[in-house]
Structure 1
Amino acid sequence: MTTSRPEVLDPASPAHRPAETAPASAPPGPSRSRRSSVVIALALSAGTAALVGAEFIPAGVLPAMAADLGVSEGRAGLTVAATALAGAITAPTIATVLPRADRRTVMLSLLGLAILSNLLVMVAPSLPIVLGARILLGAAIAGFWSFAFGVGVQVTGRPALVSTTVALGTSTATIVGVPLSSVLGDLIGWRAVFALISALTLGSGVLLWRLLPPVPAQPGAGLAMMRAALGNRRLVAGVLVIGVAAFANFAAYPYIRLAIEAVQVQAVAALLLAWGLGGLVGNLAGGWAARWIRWGVVAGPMILLAALLAVATTSSVVVLGLAVIAWGLGFNMVPVTTQLWVSALEPRRVESAIALQVTAFQIAIMLGSVVGGVLVDQRGPAAAMALGAGSAALAAVGFAAIRVRPAAS
């Protein structure tokens, strides 16, 4: 079998759920309507949007931030790498450190940590202080993202809904984190943008506090579950490929504004917005492609490959615009499809599988922003785009080579 049916992607389904990871909360029934499940999933999406939006603000305000802190634009891009480094360490370990903690309490605390980080960046006088504050944000993002899917499934019993809405938060954050931050940074200053994202994070925290019930940790959560997940060779290989796919984007994405400016300075705001809108379409396309999950994960990197090659080589504003939209669409399919993909590869230990997916993303963000920054400083943004295109090609081949077997087998 080369494709997986929709039920394969439902680790919360009673038919496929082993006792060791049975949800502590009952799936939606008369007491939890379809509407309330959607509202809770959207609240989780809002929290994800606030955190990921903060992660990528530097990509939208990079020139002003670099000038204010007295560093090159490539070094200022390390603010994204610092966040990712902390996230890569936090994602696979937070469940081990907090194996029994109520997940609602943990997630609200992580949003508070993100607020502290953003406020510190807002007043930081130098790059080292900014980097320290961004480490706090990385821990908050990775922890929240690692728990969001499992918590959502425990409360609603609807994995596809939760995966799509959480990824929708990530896609929305590309609009908040880059295009709007670029415009607002020019109007009110880059530091004020961090104050604004702090307020939005607080609002998402209040929303979750009101809507999300207490969520006990899954039975068996912690080090033993992670060790068992790491024993799944297909999952480990898949996580490595996810890292390559994410690297393809993040070697280029922190420098997207520079790539656009190299063709048409006046088009920056419009094309950054177009990237975000393409991302929203990609989010929906990823959810739709999940019914053919093996090939759904291939489609995103293939579209990303074509888009990055076009951005790297074109001097036409029209072609650049189409390529930027395709870039947003192709990459934003990846978080949705890969989240469901690892759930299909390891349906019995979803929390650990998602944590490894998050780790792969954060390592890729860190390495991509560092390597991309070096290329930008030495050879210009087109070199970073070309590197991303090559990595996307490798990811597409890797995804195609890994078979997803039905959970029922």
Structure 2
Amino acid sequence: MPSQNVSVSTPPGAAVSRPAGTATPPHRTWTPVAALSFGIAMVLMGEFLPASVLPALAADVGVSEGRAGLAVAATAIAGAFTAPSIAVLLPRTDRRTVLVALLAIAALSNVAVALAPSFAVLLVGRLLLGVALAGYWSFAFGAGTHAVPGKDRLVSSALAFGTSIATVVGIPLASVVGDAVGWRATFGGTAVLTAVAAVAVAMALPSVPPHPGAGLRMLRAALRNGRLMAGIACVVLVALGNFAAYPYIRIAIEDVDPAATTWLLLTWGIGGLVGTLLAGFLARWLRPLAAVAPVALSASLVLAAFATSVPVLAVAMVLWGLSISMMPVITQLWVTRVEPERAESAMSLQVTAFQVAITVGAALGGALLDGHGVQSLLLVGAGAAVAAGIGWAVLRVPRT
């Protein structure tokens, strides 16, 4: 990962700013960032678990596979409302306290899903996870840059690395565990690990006081930034492109070769790990990177749509994982550069954009799957992704 300093690391309007007169600790430790990364890995693993066990989950609760994809959409719906509102509702609460509480909620949500007797109860658990996920994403970046000031690219890459580890190890492992002992066991195990993450964050993260300007006024000011909102629209497009397809990735693989499911999911995750590291290294060229990554995502989805052999599908999986894993790093840095004075609100809008897109994308993908098959949702996703790339290509971003 790169180690360049970035000038947006402690913007005066963001939660990452230290109170006046507080000195930077003489001995910097990355333990808080590692704990935050572990936490984001757990909440995101919980979000995407349905994609690994979708056929068994759908059969167990008595719904179609397309409708079961709403288990992802339900999480995103709750997240879309939570991300912009949590800082408004808790403007003065220590961010460490909030982050620990959100991880506890995520653990509880996975317990609810693991024990759910019906699809309706399962959706309630997934809504709880959406609250936890959106709030955690909104505050984790600021908390990380508070703990290690001046290292925005490294903090963003570390959080994205946690996501990649979850996909490289967690999602394929969940598929294996789900096939061996049942999909409910995967959610139960994730609940335990998420509770461990809550303890780790509570112990490792220092107090993170909110910025005095946090709240509704900061959010309103961020919403008036036209360039920021244009970039947020691109976030919606690229996330929509991915999540119209991702909840149904296992079905796309099984259409080619069911026996290759686990290792093709692993190749997707390996691509994601490489993409995270690559995004951190290339972040100094943020504008071209933001344009190229969605186009690469589009190409991967087109390739997956027309793949008829495992080798071709493997290439598509690697490129898919690589390109989409770049987007958290790209978008976090993009919004905090465009709106450095109100970084916390900018981050909340970025999270909201992802969650709205996940909601719409999962619902759209499910409808396309049930009505037209998996190829149609892959091609629709590709179109949305390439539109995002074009949008970012024409938007300027401040230099650092």
Most deviating of 20-29 and 340-349: 20-29
Q: Distance in 1 between matches of 2:231 and 2:359?
A: 19
Question: 1:88-127, aligned counterparts within 5 Å?
Answer: 88-127=80-119
Query: How many Å apart are 1:301 and its aligned residue?
Result: 0.5
Who is 1:11 aligned against? 8
Query: How many Å apart are 1:326 and its aligned residue?
Result: 0.4
Question: 1:326-365, aligned counterparts within 5 Å?
Answer: 326-365=319-358
Who is 2:270 aligned against? 277
Q: TM-score, normalised by structure 1?
A: 0.94
Query: How many Å apart are 1:85 and its aligned residue?
Result: 0.2
Question: 1:301-380, aligned counterparts within 5 Å?
Answer: 301-380=294-373
Query: How big is each residue's C-alpha offset from its partner over 1:258-296, in whole Å with a ceiling of 9 and x where there is no partner?
Result: 001111111100000100110010101111121001111
Q: Give the 3 Å change call, closer, same or farther, for CA 19–240 of structure 1 in structure 2.
A: closer
8 Å Cα contact 1:302-1:393 kept in structure 2:
yes
Query: How many Å apart are 1:173 and its aligned residue?
Result: 2.2
Q: Distance in 2 between matches of 1:240 and 1:372?
A: 19
Q: Secondary structure at the residue paired with 2:341?
A: coil
Q: Give the 3 Å change call, closer, same or farther, for CA 266–403 of structure 1 in structure 2.
A: same
Q: Distance in 1 between matches of 2:240 and 2:323?
A: 14
Alignment root-mean-square deviation, CA? 1.4
AA paired with 2:177?
Answer: L
Query: How big is each residue's C-alpha offset from its partner over 1:320-377, in whole Å with a ceiling of 9 and x where there is no partner?
Result: 1011000000111111111101111111111111111000001111111000001111
Q: Distance in 2 between matches of 1:365 and 1:20?
A: 26
Q: Does 1:134 align with 2:131?
A: no
- How many residue pairs were aligned? 394
Who is 1:40 aligned against? 32
Q: Give the 3 Å change call, closer, same or farther, for CA 138–22 of structure 1 in structure 2.
A: closer
Who is 2:399 aligned against? 406
Q: Give the 3 Å change call, closer, same or farther, for CA 117–309 of structure 1 in structure 2.
A: same
Q: Distance in 2 between matches of 1:177 and 1:22?
A: 30
Where do 5+ consecutive residues of structure 2 fail to align? none
Q: Distance in 2 between matches of 1:379 and 1:169?
A: 35
Who is 1:206 aligned against? 199
Out of 48, 53, 71, the position equivalent to 2:45 is 53
AA paired with 2:273?
Answer: L
Structure 1 runs, 4 residues or longer, greater than 3 Å off: 17-22, 25-29
Who is 1:24 aligned against? 18
Q: Distance in 2 between matches of 1:259 and 1:271?
A: 11
Q: Distance in 2 between matches of 1:22 and 1:288?
A: 23
Aligned residues: percent identity?
51
Question: 1:283-298, aligned counterparts within 5 Å?
Answer: 283-298=276-291
Q: Distance in 2 between matches of 1:328 and 1:385?
A: 14
Out of 73, 78, 99, the position equivalent to 2:70 is 78
Query: How many Å apart are 1:19 and its aligned residue?
Result: 6.6
8 Å Cα contact 1:53-1:176 kept in structure 2:
no
Q: Give the 3 Å change call, closer, same or farther, for CA 187–219 of structure 1 in structure 2.
A: same
Who is 1:249 aligned against? 242
8 Å Cα contact 1:54-1:177 kept in structure 2:
no
Q: Give the 3 Å change call, closer, same or farther, for CA 20–392 of structure 1 in structure 2.
A: closer
Q: Give the 3 Å change call, closer, same or farther, for CA 21–275 of structure 1 in structure 2.
A: closer
Query: How many Å apart are 1:172 and its aligned residue?
Result: 1.9
Q: Secondary structure at the residue paired with 2:54?
A: helix
Query: How many Å apart are 1:21 and its aligned residue?
Result: 6.2
Q: TM-score, normalised by structure 2?
A: 0.96
Where do 5+ consecutive residues of structure 1 fail to align? 1-5
Out of 218, 222, 230, the position equivalent to 1:225 is 218
Q: Distance in 1 between matches of 2:24 and 2:173?
A: 37
Q: Secondary structure at the residue paired with 1:136?
A: helix
Q: Distance in 2 between matches of 1:352 and 1:19?
A: 9
Who is 1:3 aligned against? none
